[in-house]
Chains A and B, each alone.
Chain A
Amino acid sequence: MLKNIKEWIAVFMILGVIMLIGNWIGYDVLPWTALPGIAILIGISLVGLIIHHLLPFQLPSIAYIGIIGLIVTIPGMPGSAQIATYTAEVNLLAIATPILAYAGVSIGRSWFDFVQLGWKTIVVGMVVLFGTFLGSAVIAEIILRFQGII
Chain B
Amino acid sequence: MSEKAIALWKDWRLHVIVLGIVAVTESIGIFKIPLGPGTILLLPMLYAVVIGLALYFTPLINDKQSINAEPLVFLSVSILIAKFGVQAGPALPQIIEAGPALLLQEFGNLGTIFLALPLAVFLGMKRESIGMTHSIGREANLALITDKYGLSSPEGRGVMAMYIFGTVFGSIFIGMISGFLATVTPLHPISFAMATGVGSGSMAAASLGPLIAAFPEMSETLTAFSGVSNLISSVTGLYMSIFVGLPLTVKMYEILSKNKEKKTVKGSVEYVKKH
Of A10, A95, A136, the residue contacting B105 (CB under 8 A) is A136
A51 interface hit (Cβ, 8 Å): no
Contact of B206 among A7, A11, A100, A123 (CB under 8 A): A100
CB neighbors of B among A22-48 (8 A): 22, 25-26, 38, 40-42, 44-45, 48
Q: Decide: A140 near B195, CB < 8 A? Known: A7-B8, A69-B88, A104-B51.
A: yes
Tell me the chain A residues, 66-118 only, with Cβ under 8 Å from chain B. Answer: 66-75, 77, 80, 83-84, 87-88, 90, 92-111, 113-114, 117
How many chain A residues have a CB neighbour from B under 8 Å?
A: 99
Question: Counting CB contacts under 8 A, is B214 at the interface?
Answer: no
Interface residue B84 (Cβ < 8 Å from any Cβ of A): yes
CB–CB A143/B100 < 8 A: yes
Contact of A69 among B43, B82, B124, B209 (CB under 8 A): B82
| Residue in A closest to B99 when the chains form the complex, CB atoms | A147
Report if A100-B27 is in contact (Cβ < 8 Å); known contacts: A4-B5, A66-B227, A128-B162: no
Contact count A vs B, C-beta below 8 Å? 425
A68 to B88, CA, bound (A): 10
| Nearest CB of chain B from residue A37's CB, rounded to whole Å | 9
Cα distance, A4 to B110, chains bound together (Å): 38
Q: Contacting B166 at CB < 8 Å: which of A16, A77, A129?
A: A129
Give A119 to B26 CA distance when docked, in angstroms. 33
CB contacts (< 8 Å) of A61 on chain B: these are 78
B residues near A73, Cβ cutoff 8 Å:
85-90
Question: Which of B45, B169, B201 is the one whose CB lies under 8 Å from A62?
Answer: B201
**B45 touching A21 by the CB < 8 A rule?**
no
A-contact bits for B78-112, CB 8 A (1 contact / 0 none)? 11111111111110100001101110111111111
A128 cross-chain contacts in B, Cβ below 8 A: 112, 115-116, 132-133, 136-137, 162
Interface residues of B in 2-30 (CB under 8 A from A): 2, 5-6, 8-9, 14-15, 17-19, 21-23, 25-27, 29
Name the residue on B nearest A60 (C-beta): B234
Chain A nearest CB, measured from B211 CB (Å): 10
Question: What is the bound-complex CA distance between A61 and B77, given in angstroms?
Answer: 11
